[in-house]
Amino acid sequence: MKTIVVLIMALFLLGFLVSGGPGYLFGQKASVQIENGVTVVRNPENPVARDGRPVAIRLVEDLVLGSGAFSPETSFSAATFVLVDDEDHFIVFDNKDVSIRIFDKSGRFLRKFGKRGQGPDEIQAAMGMMLSGGKDIVIVDAGNNRLAFYSQDGTCLKRTPLIKANPNFPVMDSRGNFYGAAFEFAEKVSLNLFKFGPDGKPLSTLGSIPMPRENELPPFELMERFVFQIRPDDALVWAGNFRYELNVAAPDGKILRRITRNALPEKVTRRILDKEFKRRFPDRTLPESMPIPSHYPKYFPYLDSILCDEEGRLFVSTLEGYGSGSKKYDVFDLDGFYIARFALPESETMTAVKRGKAYVVIREDKGGNPLVKRYRLEEK
């Protein structure tokens, strides 16, 4: 009996070591290797166990904003950007009426401010919203070519000109540096991932993607682009959406870790062509004989977006099963191990994760109303 127990323990230890440590479950292996000085975490197709158990996440609806009777304070025309501050306040930017609304953590309306224009305190065309110091609101105003900093009482604290580029969906670190993707127009057009200093000047370029000619642009879902997010330790996590390979970079740009997942590419079908045709020509029917255009990629990109919580866990939105009615999210722990997966309705877009809560935007509910929703993330 002792011999059998020792043999079982030896086999378990061998599996633990071969798999690179934690991450061994029912034959799946998550390996960790050093390649050219970079730690590479290779994950299997499905989540793996850590600390002896797999993680299953259930989403429980916690709060909905924008439902009920219409109110100019609490109803949205287009809830475009949603962030959560250090006090769990909802901060919602509405792109149609160009306003910022703030709600407390119980959903109680606190205040609304902002208006469209080119004046000192006005916003012309917002391309993103960030938080500075966990509380002050920063709007990337491409129409006025500047960053506008607001306190939560609506006071415009300062305006910083954008020197070279207007980044899309930027993220800011604790030092006031921010990252964003922006087009660079030279002999050929490229989409670059820039790091900007607090003064709005580009400091470095982390990656570049050549853009196709205008008449060869596929639908947005199939376009090659960057996904990126800031961790609490100011590390940037970024990737090109056609590779399931997340780069974790130090503030100086040096790659510290790469995180991969063994995902299978999904072939582009007529489903996306039909959706794009209806979007462009809502009153026309797609001819059955129309083929998929040759400039469309043959496979969907793997990645759609990245979010990060205060523990450094990554929530990666994928395009797996596009058009099926649900959107898949892969969860990685701070070390880069793939620990869980869950799904949201395809009509809901997660914009923030904080203290065990997920915040999502719903472009339109069944009544045509934009909503903001909060879920509790419950492990089971």
CATH number assigned to the domain comprising residue 368: 2.120.10
Q: Does residue 203 lie within any of the structural domains? A: yes
What is the predicted pLDDT for the residue at 21? 39
What is the predicted pLDDT for the residue at 92? 95
Q: What is the mean pLDDT of residues 251-259?
A: 95
Q: Does residue 5 lie within any of the structural domains? A: no
What is the predicted pLDDT for the residue at 248? 98
Q: What is the mean pLDDT of residues 206-233?
A: 92
Q: Domains in the chain: how many in total? A: 1
Q: Does residue 271 lie within any of the structural domains? A: no
Q: Does residue 57 lie within any of the structural domains? A: yes
Q: Does residue 20 lie within any of the structural domains? A: no
State the DSSP code for 53: B
b/e burial code for range 202-239 (CB count within 10 A of at least 16 → b): beeebbebebeeeeeebbebbbebbbbbbbeeebbbbb
pLDDT band of residue 4 (cuts 50, 70, 90) is: very low
Give per-residue pLDDT as tens, 61-83.
999 999 876 788 888 988 999 99
Q: Does residue 162 lie within any of the structural domains? A: yes
Give per-residue pLDDT as tens, 6-32.
333 333 333 333 333 344 444 468 899
Residues 6+ apart with CB under 8 A from 322: 221, 266, 271, 272, 300
Tell me the percentage of the chain whose pLDDT exceeds 90. Answer: 67
What is the predicted pLDDT for the residue at 148? 94
CB 212 within 8 A of CB 286: no
Q: What is the mean pLDDT of residues 223-240?
A: 96
Q: What is the mean pLDDT of residues 169-196?
A: 93
First to last CA, the chain: 35
Q: What is the mean pLDDT of residues 185-195?
A: 91
pTM: 0.88
Could you tell me which residue, 192 or 15, shows the higher pLDDT? 192
Distance from C-alpha of 45 to C-alpha of 264, rounded to nearest angstrom: 8
Structural domain containing residue 169: 28-265+361-379
Q: Does residue 200 lie within any of the structural domains? A: yes
Distance from C-alpha of 125 to C-alpha of 76, rounded to nearest angstrom: 17
Q: Does residue 2 lie within any of the structural domains? A: no
